[in-house]
Amino acid sequence: MNSKKLNCLFVMFVFMASFLFFAPALRAEEAKAKDALDYKQAYNLVLAEKWQEAATALKDFTGRYPKSKYVDDARFWQCYSKEKLESSLEKVFDCYRDFIEAYPKSKWADDATANLVRIGHRLAQSGKPGYEAIVKAISEDAEDGVKLAALYALEDLGDEKALDSVLKLYDGSKSKKFRTRVIYLLEDFDSPKAFAKLKEIALKEADAELRRRAVYVIADTGKKEAAAVLKKVILADTDMKVRKAALYALEETGDPTVVPILRDVALKEKNPELAKAAVYTLGEVGGKEAPPILKQVLKQALDSDVKRAALHALEETGDESVLPFLRDFVLKEGDAELRRAAIYVIGDIEGNDAIEALRKILKSSIDPKLRKAALYAIEDLKGEKPKQVLLDTAINSQQEDLAKAAVYALEDMLEDKDAGVLLKVFQKSKFLSVRKAVIYSLEEIDFPGKVKTLGGMLKGEKDASLRRSIIIVLGETGSDEAVPLLLNAAQKDKEEKVKRAAVSALEEIDSDVSRKALAKITKKKPRGAGSR
């Protein structure tokens, strides 16, 4: 036999061997793909709520693919479909129990447990034994995840027997995480027994963190008794965090009777964190009673953070009657930071009285930082009156830095059409730096006739440094309208630095017109002119 025939036989042998070797694997892959497709079709019946068809398809699936990775999914939905078909509760119960025993690590195990507890509770209600034993088993032996699943099932039932089971779960568990979940769950039971348990936890639970959780839930229940329980916590608890939580939680109750205890804590509590919590809550719920108490805190508190909290709480009240007090506080308080904070509170309250209070601070304070803070507070106000205060300061203030700050505050307040206000400052101010601030402020405002206005300022200005600043702003406009003004300055101004600034401004504009002007200055033909 020649070599060619031998090679052909060898190739055929290799092919047949490969087929025999890989065929089982290929068939297995085909089977995997088939089971995934069949499961998807059965699950789609669940999604379509075609319960009888789904139950049949899922049962058939588990029979044909006992080793499929989808078999636990199919078994769970088989039980679920049975429940939806209103089958015998005992049979559905057994279905879920068998599933949990067969697939304890399935992703559906917790859901199955929850359903088991819910159905077991219904069976117990109908006079059939077994439910109490299930709850006891969960309390003593189950993992936290399973216990939580049971909790959710009991929550859905929402009746007194379910509540009794939830309370037993809390008392029987040593897990802090689990007991925390029970506390949050109790809010969903509209029952005096649930509230009583929350009260018991808030007042008697050994663990401070659990007491704190109960405090928040008590406030969220909206019960009339909530405020009374929270007040007891504030007075009796030894843990600062728990007391602080109760102080903030009082805000949720909306109960006006909480004002006296908030006042006492705000004025008498030595712990600044607790005093601050009382102050903040007072600002939110105190109504008309709050401002006098907060003013008292500002007078008497020894801790600056508590005073600062009182200032913010006064701001929350929005009560204009506190403005004279805040004005005097700014002028007399020793702490500079608190005085500045009070200024911004005045500005946030707004209104004509706020403007007058800030004007008084501007005129009366000898602290330049406070006066500047008052300016910035005025800047945030709206209307003609604050604008006039800033204009008056920019023109008439004897403090140069303050007048300059007023110019920049005006710039932020003005609209484009109001540039004339800044021109008044330029014409009347005696300070060079203030007038220069006006020039650079005009650069930021896009108003009609801007180049013409700047040209008028340039023409009449005697100070070389101001002329130079005006020329720089003219260059920044990028307008050909500015070119004749800049050319004139470059050729005729007496100061060399002004001339150089004018040439730089023409270069900045960088147009045909500005290049021709530069050519006149340098006696050179502009670039590209010969090709035009």
Q: What is the pLDDT of residues 138-170, one digit of tens each?
A: 545 555 555 555 655 655 555 566 788 778 878
**DSSP string spanning 201-213?**
HHHH-S-HHHHHH
Q: Which of 473, 417, 485 is nearest to 448 (CA)?
A: 417
Report DSSP state, residue 104.
T
Q: Which of 128, 118, 40 is nearest to 80 (CA)?
A: 118
How far apart CA 393 and CA 111 sit, in angstroms, is 72
pLDDT at 452: 92
Average pLDDT over residues 62-66: 92
Based on its alpha-carbon atoms, the radius of gyration of the chain, rounded to whole angstroms, reads 41
How far apart CA 46 and CA 55 sit, in angstroms, is 8
pLDDT at 376: 87
- How far are the Cα atoms of 12, 174, 184, 415 from residue 207, in angstroms, in the given order? 79, 11, 16, 60
Q: Which of 407, 415, 408 is nearest to 384 (CA)?
A: 415
How far apart CA 384 and CA 388 sit, in angstroms, is 6
- Residue 57 in tokens: 């398809």
pTM score, whole prediction: 0.62
Is residue 70 within 8 A of residue 58, CB to CB? The reply is no
Which helix (H) or strand (E) segment holds residue 175: the answer is none
Q: Which residue has the higher pLDDT, 34 or 279?
A: 279
Alpha helices in 48-130 (DSSP H): 51-64, 71-84, 89-102, 109-125
Q: Which of 75-79, 127-131, 221-225, 404-408 has the highest mean pLDDT?
A: 75-79
Report DSSP state, residue 511.
S
Is residue 505 within 8 A of residue 474, CB to CB? The reply is yes
User: What are the residue ranges spanned by the domains of the chain?
Assistant: 449-532
From first CA to last CA, the distance across the chain in angstroms is 92
pLDDT band at 433; cut points 50, 70, 90: very high
Q: Which of 200-204, 218-222, 389-393 has the highest mean pLDDT?
A: 200-204
SS3 266: helix
Is residue 406 within 8 A of residue 417, CB to CB? The reply is no
Is residue 62 within 8 A of residue 99, CB to CB? The reply is no
How far apart CA 480 and CA 301 sit, in angstroms, is 64
Share of the chain above pLDDT 90, in %: 39
Q: Which of 7, 29, 27 is nearest to 19 (CA)?
A: 27
Is 449-532 assigned to CATH 1.25.10.10? yes
How far apart CA 470 and CA 493 sit, in angstroms, is 13
pLDDT at 178: 82
- Residue 85 in tokens: 């078909």
